[in-house]
Homo-oligomer: A and B are copies of this chain.
Amino acid sequence: MLTENVPQISRLPASTIGIRLPAAATPRIETRREPLAGLVRSFSKDEELFAEGDEAECFCEVKSGTVRTYKLLSDGRRLIDAFHFAGDIFGIEFGAEHRFSAEAVADVTVVAYRRSRLATVAETDPAFGDRVMAATLRSLERAQSHMLLLGRKTAQEKMATFLLDMADRLSDDDQHFELPMQRADIADHLGLTIETVSRTLTRFARKGLIDLPASSRSVALRNKPALRRLEA
């Protein structure tokens, strides 16, 4: 059942699995097959994996790097609904089209799975099916608490929530971590401007809540209880 479909997939041009390369990008054809007939693809910083409105023929799992998914208003204002790190699954759709655009925050490697084969794969490997389902539900849950953040939290509360979440997801010791995204991405995730993000971080640092060692991308949480209280 699995075997009869695999060759079919590797024959498909990239465009038909719903991942399109931007015209300008060098098409690095280092694709190879994954156990579950996923296609391994690499993208460099700011490359587009797919766009809102594209036919949703595939969904992805992050192998390494970070992906942002976002929506735009007509005048270019952007809201990043989520960042996706290694192990995260994103781009699952039940309708025909992707409802978000996806870009590489920095160089990224993903495994792309054909959506049409989800049912088959899930049967073959129930654990994988569960992971897909869990990913969908987690994204619903995240969307719901993110609404609360966007609609009712102050800049400080937003940043505190964000930092604690990042520590959770990116840090080994739950304290030190390197932010993979730039200020503009954080701002568009939290519904703020980059200036407010920057100022709020500086303020946290001055209050001794965090350390901002030189590099501006690395953060160390110095006082998590205080951050939790700030979270509201």
Residues of A in contact with B (beta carbons under 8 Å apart):
71, 73-75, 77-79, 81, 94-95, 99-100, 136-137, 139-141, 143-148, 150-153, 188, 190-191, 232
Contact = CB atoms under 8 A, between A and B. Distances in A.
10 contacts: A71-B144, A71-B145, A73-B152, A79-B151, A81-B144, A81-B147, A100-B144, A136-B140, A143-B144, A151-B191
Contacts of A146: 147
A153 B78 CA distance: 10
A150 B150 contact: yes
A149 to B, nearest CB: 9
A188 B152 CA distance: 8
Contacts of A95: 137, 141
B147 A150 contact: yes
B148 A74 contact: no
Nearest to A145: B71
A200 to B, nearest CB: 16
A214 to B, nearest CB: 30
Contacts of A145: 71
Contacts of A81: 144, 147
A191 B136 CA distance: 26
